């Protein structure tokens, strides 16, 4: 099963199904000798929200699913600069849509690679990236969950 990215940024991720814990009062046969109902297995998916544990890793995996033949992400200086600018633009201007921000990029491919590189680095890489954005563009660092959500939105727009 693939990871699914919802429009609100949440991710539906597969989890290993495990049988539900048996109830102490139940067994294969009830006290009167009749068969009891089977116990249902736990759900096989989970919804992860930006900022939740495992979200960044799942988002990086979702991105890799979009183009499985893509080589490992490599961040260039100009790609990273543009990536910081696009994240800042989306975060600070409520009227600035992701589509408009992506259209303004000089090198969308390099920006996407830089953002993928951030995701692959995990939570600390996202935190460091948010601090870099604040230093380069001004303002306070974005919360990690907000940065990750914007990165996911930009990558989804780039893949369209």
Any idea where the domains of the chain sit in the sequence? 70-159
Give the pLDDT confidence score for residue 81 in this predicted structure.
92
Residue 57, both tokens? 């890793």
Residue 83 predicted with pLDDT over 80 = yes
Residue 11 bridge partners (DSSP): 5, 48
Residue 33 predicted with pLDDT over 90 = no
Give the pLDDT confidence score for residue 34 in this predicted structure.
60
Give the pLDDT confidence score for residue 56 in this predicted structure.
78
The CA angle 123-129-133, to the nearest 5 degrees, is 145
Average pLDDT, the chain: 82
Give the pLDDT confidence score for residue 133 in this predicted structure.
92
Residue-wise pLDDT tens digits, 96-135: 788 888 898 999 999 999 998 898 888 888 999 999 999 9
Percent of the chain residues topping a pLDDT of 90: 25
Residue 15, both tokens? 């989890």
pLDDT tier for residue 64 given thresholds of 50, 70 and 90: confident
Compare 81 and 66 and report the one with higher pLDDT.
Answer: 81
Mean pLDDT: which of 24-28, 31-35, 119-123, 149-153 is highest? 149-153
Percent of the chain residues topping a pLDDT of 70: 81
Residue 24 predicted with pLDDT over 60 = no
- Cβ atoms of 148 and 1 closer than 8 Å: no
Residues 12-36 have a mean pLDDT of 64
CB atoms inside a 10 Å sphere around CB 157: 19
CA distance 23 to 14: 25
């Amino acid at each position: 099963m693939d990871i699914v990215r919802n429009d609100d940024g949440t991710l539906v991720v597969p989890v290993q199904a495990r049988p539900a814990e048996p109830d102490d009062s139940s067994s294969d046969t009830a006290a009167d000798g009749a068969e009891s109902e089977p116990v249902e297995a736990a759900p096989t998916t989970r919804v992860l929200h930006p900022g939740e544990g495992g979200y960044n890793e799942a988002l990086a995996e979702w991105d890799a699913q979009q183009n499985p033949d893509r080589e490992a992400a490599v961040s260039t200086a100009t790609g990273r600069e543009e990536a910081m600018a696009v994240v800042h633009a989306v975060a600070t201007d409520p009227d600035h849509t992701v589509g408009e921000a992506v259209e303004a990029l000089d090198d969308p491919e390099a920006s996407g690679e830089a953002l993928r590189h951030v995701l692959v680095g995990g939570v600390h890489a996202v935190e460091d990236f948010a601090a870099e954005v604040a230093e380069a563009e001004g303002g306070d660092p974005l919360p990690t969950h907000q940065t990750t959500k914007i990165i996911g939105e930009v990558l989804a727009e780039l893949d369209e």
